[in-house]
């Protein structure tokens, strides 16, 4: 339990000359999955599920990426069908989350495993802002064991 699956569209421009999604573009796919899961749609929007973070220019807090790790397990070819990003939380800290991912090709093969440490910060000062009890409660259903890497 804990995982949510987010469909994310690849783009033709994500490919490089090897004909596969470029290694850096893969992190952009993860970013979109993260935003779809955690960000409220707009600063004053209703919050549903785990959508308890905000990040847009108008918001009081930002979400920064502190660390990322990714294993590329199979090349990802272009498809008009979205990849499926399985996303869950491997750890909840005071003001940070370890977000874990498995990326599935449209055919269902795991092509990448990754984890991002993200931190909720004050938009002005850049200082960490602790999650409220309410936010923790909203995030808890996504908790699961951290992703296991092959290394």
Closest approach of its own copies to the CB of residue 150, in Å: 8
Rounded to an integer, what is the distance from CA 19 to the centroid of its chain? 24
> What residue spans of the chain are helical by DSSP H?
23-38, 133-139
By beta-carbon proximity to its own copies, the closer residue of 65 and 110 is 65
Rounded to an integer, what is the distance from CA 50 to the centroid of its chain? 12
Site of tokens 């290694």: 23
By beta-carbon proximity to its own copies, the closer residue of 39 and 101 is 39
Neighbouring-strand partners of residue 76:
none
Closest approach of its own copies to the CB of residue 133, in Å: 26
Site of tokens 């690849």: 10
Q: What are phi and psi of 93, to 5 degrees?
A: -100, -170
Closest approach of its own copies to the CB of residue 147, in Å: 13
By beta-carbon proximity to its own copies, the closer residue of 44 and 133 is 44
Q: Which residues bind its own copies (CB under 8 A)?
A: 9, 11-13, 15-19, 22-28, 31-32, 35-36, 39, 41-42, 55-57, 62, 64-72, 75, 77-81, 116-117, 126, 149, 151
């Amino acid at each position: 339990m804990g995982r949510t699956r987010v469909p994310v569209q690849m783009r033709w421009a994500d490919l490089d000359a090897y004909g596969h999604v470029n290694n850096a573009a893969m992190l952009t796919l993860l970013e979109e999955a993260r935003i779809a899961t955690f960000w409220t749609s707009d600063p004053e929007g209703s919050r549903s599920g785990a959508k308890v973070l905000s990040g847009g220019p108008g918001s009081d807090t930002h979400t920064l990426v502190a660390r990322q790790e990714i294993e590329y397990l199979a090349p990802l070819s272009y498809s008009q069908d979205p990849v499926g990003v399985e996303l869950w939380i491997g750890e909840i800290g005071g003001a940070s989350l370890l977000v874990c991912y498995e990326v599935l090709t449209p055919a269902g093969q795991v092509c990448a495993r990754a984890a991002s440490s993200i931190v909720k910060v004050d938009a002005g000062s850049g200082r960490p802002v602790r999650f409220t009890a309410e936010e923790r409660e909203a995030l808890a259903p996504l908790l699961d064991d951290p992703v296991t890497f092959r290394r």
